[in-house]
Chain A
Amino acid sequence: MFIKMSDISFNYDSVSALSLINIDINKGESVALVGPNGSGKSTLLKVINGICFPSQGEYWFDGLQVTEKALKNQDYLKLFHKRIGFVFQNSDAQLFCATAFEEIAFGPRQIGLSPDEVNERVFDCLNLLQIEQLKHREPYHLSEGEKKKLAIAAVLALNPDVLTLDEPMNNLDVKTRNFLKDLLIKLRDAGKTIICATHEVSQIQDVFSKVISISEDHHIS
């Protein structure tokens, strides 16, 4: 079990966002997380990424339990975030550097790669997402589709083992959506574990091998 969650519940201000969630995901699986608005998909993804901590229950990643205390260890924190990448629903919040190049370079620089390695990764990611021409543009100048591609490029630059995405297809045109779908298939075939919260039911057959459905009362249905 690569990712295991038992009886995870999450409350804030006495409102329950997640209730007794149990999940088992194996390495290399591609999982779709579906459910109506407000069911807690985003919250669950945040817990998986260690941004929020559950009020009860246990979360195990690759044999180690992920707790607030464990993540206080700087080395573990860095490794954890390197291994799990998160593409936010809101691309504006995700992009904070001055140019697209810097944005993608941010992660590799933080983990201490040499400037040559950083450059290699940045160029490869720009090519993979077909956004080479945006290299020196400012992120806030880009269209929604370009921002989403840049966000994905920035996350992939860290070469995560697990890629989590929160409704990536929102606000994108058909061409970009198809591009993303093909990209996810490529990444899946390369061995990455993919967890994607989505509304797009039509994608599920092609990309994902497993579906986890959360209902309105925040339980797994």
Chain B
Amino acid sequence: MNWLYQEDTYTPVRDRKLYIDRSILSILGTVSRIRHEEKGHRGGIYAVSPPAKFVCTLALIILFSLSRNIYFTAFADSCAILMASLLVMSDLKRIAAVTSVVILFSFILLLPSMLMGNIHNSIMICMKIAGSVLLLNILSHSTKWINITRSLKLIRIPDIIILIIDITMKYIVILGNFAVNMLYALRLRSVGKEEGKHRSISNILGVLFIKSKEMAEMTYHAMECRCFSGSYSTQMKFTFKARDFLYILFILFICAGFFLMRDVK
């Protein structure tokens, strides 16, 4: 045991640890997005009825996809930016960052096609992507996520699936935190060269899987102990106010644009 009472002389060997940090960052980012939900008491677009926002966002994304007219795309894009401007600064910054990255990537991906002469359509695709991503982000930043999952009922998704989605969200947070702790432990113990790095990730995922199975078993028992009979009813109590009426009117205005601009060249 003499080594424990003496100091070591150790010079670390350089080795890549980036993969651990990146994994930690992506999981933490996700978990914090799920946890950061303080939208309750804001007004404006935040308080518009969630099922209305959900259905309208979906409808607009479909219109974007169907549109073959660059004028409508531009028109709808500007309306989307108008809606985004109703958000709080911090949300706006985040959305602007995400949307810009997506547009940039699309642009780069379509560049070869544009160089070959297909400019008009490529730009239209970029604009469509910008609009769809913007709308989706507006939805997810202005609405509590559990309200979005409740609204899935409106597109005929069965209640049991909604229960599964609720459980999934919760466990992304729980398992995510657990995984991050293991990744931190790995980081702290990565003092030198690590052979077979993918094995560490495999082991962490292995532990994660075993834990998942155990927790699934326990959750099932918890449901059983509370008389779960296989049916689940989600309650949607959403009121319809003037604000919602204005919102829907605006969306209808955009939809009208789709039909009116069909023949504009």
Same complex origin of A and B: yes
A interface with B by C-beta (< 8 Å): 46, 49, 51, 74, 78, 81-82, 84-86, 88, 90, 92-99, 106-107, 109-111, 136, 138-141, 154-155, 158
CB-based contact B166/A97 at 8 Å: yes
- Asked if B222 and A81 sit within 8 Å, CB to CB, the answer is no
Q: Known A92-B215, A109-B233; judge A98-B226 contact (CB<8 A).
A: no
Q: Given A93-B218, A96-B167, is A81 in contact with B227 using a C-beta cutoff of 8 Å?
A: yes
B170 neighbours in A (Cβ, 8 Å): 95-96, 138-140
B196 within 8 A of A: no
Chain B neighbourhood of A84, CB < 8 A: 225
Given contacts A88-B218, A92-B215, A93-B215, contact A99 B226 (CB under 8 A): no
Does chain A have a CB within 8 A of B219? yes
Contacts A85-B225, A92-B215, A110-B227 known; A99 to B146 CB distance under 8 Å? yes
State which size class the interface on B falls in: 20 to 34
**Cβ distance B76 to chain A, nearest Cβ, rounded Å:** 32
Judge whether A81 and B166 touch: CB under 8 Å.
no
Chain A contacts for B75, CB-based, 8 A = none
Residues in B with CB closer than 8 Å to A154 are 226
B174 interface residue (CB < 8 Å to A) = yes
Q: Can you offer 12 A-B residue contacts whose CB atoms are under 8 A?
A: A78-B229, A81-B227, A92-B174, A93-B218, A95-B222, A96-B167, A96-B170, A107-B226, A110-B228, A136-B40, A141-B35, A158-B226
CB-CB under 8 A from B219, the residues of chain A are 93-94, 96
Once the chains bind, are B227 and A94 in contact (CB under 8 Å)? no
Choose among B149, B166, B173, B227 the residue that contacts A96 (Cβ–Cβ < 8 A): B166
CA of A158 to CA of B225, assembled, Å? 10
Question: Min CB distance, B70 to chain A, in Å?
Answer: 41
* B167 neighbours in A (Cβ, 8 Å): 96
Contact of B146 among A92, A98, A106 (CB under 8 A): A98
Shortest CB-to-CB span from B181 to chain A, Å, is 14
Other-chain residue from B146, B221, B227 in contact with A111 (beta carbon distance below 8 A): B227
Is residue B88 within 8 Å, beta carbon to beta carbon, of the partner chain? no
Q: Considering the complex, which residues of chain B in the window 210-257 have a beta carbon less than 8 Å from any beta carbon of chain A?
A: 215, 218-219, 221-229, 233
Provide the residues of chain A in CB contact with B223, threshold 8 Å: 96
Contacts of A109 in B (CB 8 A): 233
Query: Any chain A CB within 8 A of the CB of B15?
Result: no
When the two chains form their complex, are residues B146 and A107 in contact, meaning their CB atoms are under 8 A apart? no
A49 contacts which of B40, B146, B225, B227 (Cβ < 8 Å)? B225
Q: Closest approach, in angstroms, between the C-beta of B41 and any C-beta of chain A?
A: 11
Max chain A Cβ within 10 angstroms of own Cβ: one of B215, B218, B219, B225: B225
A90 touches B35 (CB 8 A): no
Q: Within B152-184, which residues are at the interface with A (CB < 8 Å)?
A: 166-167, 170, 173-174
Q: Which of A78, A90, A138 has the most CB of B within 10 A?
A: A138
- Asked whether, in the complex, the Cβ of A86 is within 8 Å of the Cβ of B225, the reply is yes
Q: Which 10 A-B pairs have the closest CB atoms?
A: A93-B218, A110-B227, A107-B226, A98-B146, A94-B222, A86-B225, A98-B166, A51-B221, A140-B173, A78-B227
Known: A96-B170, A140-B173. A110 touches B149 (CB 8 A): no
Least Cβ distance of B160 to chain A in Å?
Answer: 13
- The residue that B37 contacts in the complex, of A92, A93, A138, with Cβ under 8 A, is A138
Shortest Cβ distance from B229 into A: residue: A110
CB atoms of A106 and B226 under 8 A apart: yes
Report the bound CA distance from A86 to B220 in whole Å.
Answer: 13
Q: How far is the CB of B8 from chain A (nearest CB, A)?
A: 36
Q: Tell me how far the C-beta of B264 lies from the nearest C-beta in chain A, rounded to whole angstroms.
A: 45
Contacts of B149 in A (CB 8 A): 98
* Contact with A138, one of B146, B218, B228 (Cβ below 8 angstroms): B146
Question: What B residues does A88 contact at CB under 8 A?
Answer: 218, 221-222
